[in-house]
Chain A
Amino acid sequence: EIVLTQSPATLSLSPGERATLSCRPSQSISRYLAWYQQKPGQAPRLLIYDASNRATGIPVRFSGSGSGTDFTLTISSLEPEDFAVYYCQQRSNWPRVTFGQGTRLEIK
């Protein structure tokens, strides 16, 4: 099983600041990584797939980068609605897809 380690567990920032979230797979997954946002009581929302492709309707302030064993989700300037939990997910060895444990982005 490919383990995804997300860091930090919690990130405290203010609106307008830049957020950088990390996801590190236990083995190389090429670029087969997605990012999701989940707010309390809601289903996850796809933000990024294949490491850097924004999903339909996702604002340009969200960007993804990386390959192999090191990936980053960047939110260039935080809006109030961006405070949520973020998960990464790999599909490299489907059907054994796995998710990271999540990063909670909270208002400072």
Chain B
Amino acid sequence: QVQLVESGGGVVQPGRSLRLSCAASGFTFSRYPIHWVRQAPGKGLEWVAVIANDGNDKHHADSVKGRFTISRDNSKNTMYLQMNSLRPEDTAVYYCARDLVVASAAYYFDYWGQGTLVTVSS
């Protein structure tokens, strides 16, 4: 069965960095675009970033552009989110989510991980 497992969250001071990982199994990872979506405590959902199935195309939300970088290693079935210059408003549960469509991002999310909590606080 499709599984996505996030890791790497924790408490970090403002201005510091953190790298999240998303390990995938149960499907052909290299065929699907993968996204990061976050949810601040008690709030709604916010799309963060997407990476194409081959890693050659990436997009980031304006709120994280220049600070966060999405990447993937298809040989390890793993996707990453490098988060630099963290701010308190980045505090959220970060989910990785598979795109609904093979190869071409549809920006609909059919499978989600359980999420990893990032807390940015001094």
Contacts and interface: CB of A to CB of B under 8 A. Distances in A.
Given A43-B112, A95-B50, A95-B59, A102 B106 contact: no
Interface residues of B, number: 23
B40 to A, nearest CB: 12
B44 A43 contact: no
Nearest to B107: A91
Contacts of A98: 47
Interface in A91-106: 91, 94-102
A44 B44 contact: no
Secondary structure type dominating chain A contacts? loop
B54 interface: no
A contact residues, range: 20 to 34
Contacts of B110: 46, 55-56
Nearest to A101: B44
B46 A43 contact: no
Given A46-B100, A99-B44, A99-B46, A91 B112 contact: no
Nearest to B37: A44
Nearest to B96: A43
Nearest to B6: A43
Given A95-B50, A95-B59, A46 B108 contact: yes
Given A50-B108, A99-B46, A102-B44, 14 more contacts: A36-B109, A43-B95, A43-B114, A44-B37, A44-B112, A46-B109, A49-B100, A49-B106, A55-B110, A56-B110, A87-B44, A95-B50, A99-B44, A99-B45
Interface of B: 37, 44-47, 50, 59-62, 95, 97, 100, 105-110, 112-115
Q: For the complex of A and B, list the 10 residue pairs with the smallest distance between their C-beta atoms, beginning with the closest.
A: A43-B112, A91-B107, A95-B59, A99-B45, A94-B107, A49-B108, A97-B47, A46-B110, A97-B107, A34-B108
